[in-house]
Structure 1
Amino acid sequence: MRRNGIHFVTSAPYNPSSNRLAEHAVQTFKEGMKKMKEETVETRAVRCTGTFGRVFLVRDKKTRGFFALKAMKIPDVIRLKQEQHVHNEKEVLTEVSHPFLVRLFWTHHDQCFLYMLMEYVNGGELFSYLRSRGRFSNNIGLFYSAEIVSAIEYLHSKEIVYRDLKPENILLDSEGHIRLTDFGFAKKLSERTWTLCGTPEYLAPEVIQSKGHGRAVDWWALGVLIFEMLAGYPPFFDDNPFGIYQKILAGKLEFPRHLDFYVKDLIKKFLVIDRAKRLGNMKNGADDVKKHRWFKSIDWDCVPSRKLKPPIVPKVCHEGDTSNFDTYPEDEWKKDTPVPAKDLEIFKNF
């Protein structure tokens, strides 16, 4: 069962075959969406559904390119007080450019919806592969962890905290490399923030305690993720969120016997209650993580250039292949009442 974040839920994306195609397709989308002409944009399937948003696989009929179109109901965004998170997501995705992060091409709004046009990443969620296998081998977990470290290091260099690392938010492209998606909780930080957001099993202690948090929460979440990838379940789980929070704050770890000695040491250093002593959050930052013994076989120069060989290559027949995702019915979701002009004012720059 997929785990929803405390606030903001949605995901999905793909890698267009060329930048030139993508740029041309985006221009066509701009014209088509503003005119709302059905002959310009073709909706193929609903890739993901959430509290107030859905991600549609769409195709530009002119260029034949596939994209993920995230549509969010403005009344629901306002009702759930998610205006700032939506603006944060746009701000972050507009600024970043990295091989392991999903790309945003264009944003727009009409009287009912906010739109974000992104890559369609057609290999499916890491979550699906983890659930089907039960758990990953040490080498598989090592590969994904290395690419995630590269992505986190890049985000932190931009003073961005991701805040929602989990298997459900990691997509695989057609070659098997990762893309982090769903930046609804991401935020540009100069110091600390106090918003309670994220997925219960992955929350750092400082978030639960409302002490104010920063980029250290992403390294805590990576420790939880590595544990879950290799064990098949997260280190702190319970039937209800409060039980999970109690276990996180207690900080007691019980490792499965099969885990490698060095990976257990790495996880322990990530899951440190005192963030000042947490690996990745000390003086040398991500370099301390890269130098850990568990990563000794990784050539870090090869990671961002996508030269490591992916351990899982998704079965993808073509760019618009949807077989690696669940499909949801469109129903009447797209029909909605236009919002008042005063509410639209909040999103005038979206």
Structure 2
Amino acid sequence: MEDLEVVRLLGQGGIATVYLCRRRQTGELLAVKRIPQERLKTAEQKRRAAAERHLLKHLSGPYLAKGIRSYEDDDFLSMEMEYIVDARPLYQCIWQYRQTGRLSESVAKYFAAQIVLAVASIHDAGYMHRDLKSGNVVIDHRGIAFVIDYGFAKALKSGGSTECGGRESQRTWSLCGTHYVMAPEMFRRQVYGTEVDWWGLGVIIHEMVTGRPPWEYKPSADLPVERFFDEVIAGAERLALPKGLTQTDMSPQCRSLIQSLLEVEPEKRLGHNGASEVMAHGWFHDIDWKEFSAQGHVQSPYDSKIDFNPSLDLLHRRQDETVDDNSPSSAESIDPEDDAKYFGDF
């Protein structure tokens, strides 16, 4: 990183640290993710790092954090990425939206369409994301959504077309991700494929429109992991609205889309046959996919100067409602190698 100047820390995860850096010669701003080599000892850790490097190098398409280059020395693996200006996590934009703590359907649909196109690009590149959640979507200063963090991405075993999501050769078994967006086939230890990402989209849309996922963010002392996943299955089947909301707060088409994405059986889930069937759902009837595919061509209905409201009253209300830090920022991603730690009794 000799040619880079560290400006500030952007974020820190389980094994990686991300910095905002400036290239000394050109002044270009970029994000640099650094992983200590001591965290890349096992075959699985090395495979994941290699997958992320490959995906960053080869990803093309809108609404994705683009890779610039990657390199390593004896101490660190470093990955340079496009810097997304003034990026805020989607969950923060939801919670601090005006005075409601949930997005309007028009804003939710705008972000959802961008996420759909990002996920389609990941699948077309031959990968599944495996940890699609509101913490891994950020909104930039223009009100545009980006899917980030490919640390759990896994290569499909054969061609990456989003139109062949059901083939056994494209499936995997390892358990990873974040509890509240983990698809049933994953926590049931069944083979799974790209459908897990469409499940994650269903959780995100519910979270955007209601301010909450359909169930808790994570297990707790009162809700051990086995009961937590029972609640996920039950929640997907009944899809009850959070307290204080009524059926009029969610359009029938939006509810239909969420139900189709949160189908417990992956073979019946919307997206099983590819992104095109998600895009064809009635909730997206007024989305011009060609226009959306050209990033930045569609005016965002979200204006952070107006819509992002860091009101103390709202924040205090949210803190009261989320005891034990039960929030998306605290919902920990599960590494495949920590499987036994989190799921040993499940």
Provide the TM-score with structure 1 as the length reference: 0.75
Matched, 1:96 2:59: yes
- Once the 2 structures are TM-superposed, how far is the Cα of residue 154 of structure 1 from its aligned partner? 2.1
Give me the whole-angstrom Cα distance separating, in 1, the residues matched to 2:148 and 2:107: 20
- Once the 2 structures are TM-superposed, how far is the Cα of residue 248 of structure 1 from its aligned partner? 1.9
Matched, 1:235 2:221: no
- Once the 2 structures are TM-superposed, how far is the Cα of residue 218 of structure 1 from its aligned partner? 0.7
Deviations 1:278-333 (A, max 9, x none): 11113xx2222122111111111111113221122446xxxxxxxxxxxxxxxxxx
1:67 corresponds, among 30, 40, 48, to 30
Count of paired positions = 276
Give me the whole-angstrom Cα distance separating, in 2, the residues matched to 1:254 and 1:128: 23
1:193 corresponds, among 153, 167, 172, to 172
Deviations 1:79-118 (A, max 9, x none): 7952221111111111111121111111111111110011
Give me the whole-angstrom Cα distance separating, in 2, the residues matched to 1:114 and 1:156: 25
Give me the whole-angstrom Cα distance separating, in 2, the residues matched to 1:79 and 1:192: 22
Whichever residue aligns with residue 169 of structure 1, its letter is: N
Deviations 1:5-39 (A, max 9, x none): xxxxxxxxxxxxxxxxxxxxxxxxxxxx3xx3xxx
Give me the whole-angstrom Cα distance separating, in 1, the residues matched to 2:293 and 2:113: 9
Give me the whole-angstrom Cα distance separating, in 2, the residues matched to 1:147 and 1:75: 36
SS of structure 1 residue aligned to 2:40: helix
Provide the TM-score with structure 2 as the length reference: 0.76
Give me the whole-angstrom Cα distance separating, in 2, the residues matched to 1:143 and 1:118: 24
| Identity, % of aligned positions | 32
Deviations 1:219-256 (A, max 9, x none): 11111110011111111215436143221233332134
Give me the whole-angstrom Cα distance separating, in 2, the residues matched to 1:229 and 1:245: 22
Structure 1: 5+ residue runs without aligned partners?
A: 1-32, 316-350
Give me the whole-angstrom Cα distance separating, in 1, the residues matched to 2:210 and 2:155: 32
Give me the whole-angstrom Cα distance separating, in 2, the residues matched to 1:123 and 1:98: 21
Q: How does 1:179-328 map to 2 (within 5 A)?
A: 179-190=146-157, 191-237=170-216, 239-240=219-220, 242=225, 243-250=227-234, 251-252=236-237, 253-255=239-241, 256-257=245-246, 258-282=249-273, 285-306=274-295, 307-314=297-304
Matched, 1:128 2:112: no
Structure 2: 5+ residue runs without aligned partners?
A: 158-169, 306-346
SS of structure 2 residue aligned to 1:108: strand
Whichever residue aligns with residue 207 of structure 1, its letter is: M
- Bigger drift between 165-174 and 204-213 goes to 165-174
Partner of 2:139: 172
2:46 corresponds, among 74, 83, 86, to 83
Whichever residue aligns with residue 215 of structure 1, its letter is: T
Q: How does 1:37-52 map to 2 (within 5 A)?
A: 40-52=3-15
